[in-house]
A and B are shown apart, each in its own frame.
Chain A
Amino acid sequence: RKEVEQDPGPFNVPEGATVAFNCTYSNSASQSFFWYRQDCRKEPKLLMSVYSSGNEDGRFTAQLNRASQYISLLIRDSKLSDSATYLCVVNQSSASKIIFGSGTRLSIRP
């Protein structure tokens, strides 16, 4: 089993829709969690950190469920510019490891 797993997609949704995807992790000792966004042939960029209480940044909401070992990302009122690959990142600083998921591809259509 991979240490971090994501549904590869692609998710193809119309503009304005709400879309959500999850990421599961296998190591319960994982300590911090992030969502990164990667556009085609570009480097990843931080979208948001994920906190235990859940956090929101505009149209984006991230949640962490430690009991079930997953994090989620919800995008409301999706825009064409949201089309990208979304990477889940798990930091196991006690083990000196940072693990990226393979990414979920999102495509927003007009």
Chain B
Amino acid sequence: GAGVSQSPSNKVTEKGKDVELRCDPISGHTALYWYRQRLGQGLEFLIYFQGNSAPDKSGLPSDRFSAERTGESVSTLTIQRTQQEDSAVYLCASSLSFRETDTQYFGPGTRLTVL
């Protein structure tokens, strides 16, 4: 079956512009996660959804970042007024639920470059 997909795969934008990143989780997975990975660094947990709700948004780096999920399916991560420091790979993952033992399956990521 299909895995997690993300679009676009690459995005180059100018500083100050808004960008929207999309994630399509595996069908039937109720939990969805967003991470950021800067070059040569580990994964930074941003936010997760259980269904359409995000219990804790404190991992988002600033108020320029927002995320939503609809229909317990597609999620979008929006970055407003992008800054050069936002350049990174944004990874989405999904799992059956947010239980301790549920495996996360990752999408290929969106590589964001802010000029």
Q: How many residues on A have C-beta within 8 angstroms of the other chain's C-beta atoms?
A: 20
- Contact check, B101 vs A97: say whether CB atoms are below 8 A apart: no
Expressed in whole angstroms, the Cα–Cα distance for A102 and B101 within the complex equals: 21
Residues of the A chain whose Cβ atoms lie less than 8 Å from the Cβ of B43: 44, 87, 100
Q: How far is the CB of B3 from chain A (nearest CB, A)?
A: 9
Residues of A within 8 A of B104 (CB): 46, 98
Q: Say yes or no: B42 contacts A93, CB within 8 Å.
A: no
B31 to chain A, nearest CB (A): 10
Q: CA separation between A102 and B99, bound complex, in Å?
A: 23
**A-side binding surface: helix, strand, loop or mixed?**
strand
**Residues in A whose Cβ lies below 8 Å from that of B108:** 42-43
The reply to whether B106 and A102 form a contact with Cβ atoms under 8 Å apart is: no
Tier of interface size on chain B: 20 to 34
Contact yes or no, A93 B106, CB < 8 A: no
Confirm or deny: B103 has a beta carbon within 8 angstroms of a beta carbon on chain A.
Answer: yes
Question: Of residues B56, B59, B91, B106, which shows the largest number of chain A Cβ atoms within 10 Å of its Cβ?
Answer: B106
Whether B106 and A43, one on each chain, are in contact in the complex, defined by CB atoms closer than 8 angstroms, is yes
Contact at A100–B42, with CB atoms within 8 Å?
yes
Bound complex: CA A29 to CA B101 (Å): 15
| Given A43-B91, A43-B108: A98 in contact with B33 (beta carbons within 8 A) | yes
